[in-house]
Amino acid sequence: MSTETTNAALFERAQAVIPGGVNSPVRAFRAVGGTPRFIRRAQGAYMVDAEGQRYIDYIGSWGPMILGHGHPAVLDAVQQAATEGFSFGAPTEREVELVEAIIEQVPSVEQLRLVSSGTEAAMSAIRLARGATGRSLLIKFEGCYHGHADALLVKAGSGLATFGHPTSAGVPAEVVQHTMVLEYNNVEQLEEAFALQGADIACVMVEPIAGNMNFVRASVPFMTRLRELCTQHGALLVFDEVMSGFRVALGSAQSLYAELIPGFRPDMSVFGKVIGGGMPLAAFGASRAVMQHLAPLGPVYQAGTLSGNPVATACGLATLREIAKPGFFEALGAKTKRLVDGLVAVGRETGVPLVGDCEGGMFGFFFAEALPQNYKAVMAGGSERFNRFFHAMLDRGVYLAPAMYEAGFVSAAHSDADIAATLEAARAALRAA
């Protein structure tokens, strides 16, 4: 093997021409240390790096690869679409088919607009919510990530209902002056924020299952009160399901809350990842009454040259058709639960505090005594142990997210043998750490 094809050599080469050597920050391994793996190819549940090392993949392109890599039905659809044309800048029937397939599974959405990224979808949803309500104030929660639009790059301040301060250079303070950041799963803060600012709140954007502080789900009391307050004050409840959409259930996370809270549904929804099957594709949707404010029908402007790209929609549509088959999510959820239950058992066996949670094909684990309920609890500890564990697992051919703040993903392609191998690697890694 020549030195030019090693991960280290490629990373050095990349750093000369790409900021940090990566095109998305978490790929740089800054949180865990070491050299990023440059992936050459992937198939099924596995990825192979530039040095020929194979890994069991629990990133799945950060969620989209719910079927695994290179699923035959998806490949066939993409190849056929590519022969017909990469992009037209004009409508296609497949766009309509994909939107219909999404709406069929998500009763809260009557109309949908396709875009190219989760950031674009979340940004557009907020603009639409503000345009539809005539209000400016946005509430988000610490630890929930909704893309890198300026108004969303905000960290919570100290104390209740503190207006955020930018957490990125290049974002003027005045851009985030209408963004309020609250603590996830804190009903008291939520109630006080609406009592103080209810008439000015355009929308509340929330990840129902947060995947960027590892895996933390919104409690039923919190979600129930959030729905009540939004309804009472005329604010729109926006579910960011870029990560959880069609990943935790066929009807997405909102279907799980609808089973637990009578009559529950969000006012707007944001999707990405799985609906594109690994291609750049996302969407935002709501009722007709809300969506009619969007151009060309209304005054809220949004556009995109590659929105509804014909190859991306083929990939997404083929993926949705596969996951809609009977028994798919039951099998996927059982597989994911075996993994998480196994990790918890291995932690108990080795004397390491370890807890975990999962839903559908999405999971998380923490080196802690109890499941965290908010960002502060997630950040309370365990990073050094996680970093050691991450590298020990990587050395044993298991690729986890390179940060303790990220959820993990299981695909339909993961076998019982893959799960068993992962648990055996975890047992050895925890003993070594």
Cα angle value 307/275/310 (rounded, 5°):
40
Is the C-alpha dihedral spanning 109, 161, 127, 282 positive or negative? Answer: negative
Q: Provide the annotated active-site residues.
A: 145, 240, 273
Let me know: does 275 contact 63? Beta carbons within 8 Å. Answer: no
Axis-axis angle for helices 220-233, 252-260 (nearest 10) = 90
86: which 2 tokens? 């990469």
Cα distances (angstroms) measured from residue 248 to each of 189, 330, 334, 350: 28, 10, 12, 30
**Interatomic CA distance for residues 418 and 54, integer angstroms:** 12
Rounded-to-integer distance, Cα 221 and Cα 259, Å: 14
Q: Report yes or no: 201 and 188 within 8 Å, Cβ to Cβ.
A: no
> What is the b/e burial string over 46-64, where b = at least 16 CB atoms within 10 angstroms of the residue's CB?
bbbbbeeeebbbbbbbbbb
State the Cα–Cα distance between residues 379 and 210, nearest whole angstrom: 14
Residue from 245, 272, 261, 418 nearest 329 by CA: 245
Q: How many CB atoms lie within 10 A of CB 392?
A: 18
Measured from the Cβ of residue 222, the count of other Cβ atoms closer than 10 Å reads 18
Residues 246/252, Cβ–Cβ less than 8 Å: yes
Phi, psi (rounded to 5 degrees) for 134: 70, 20
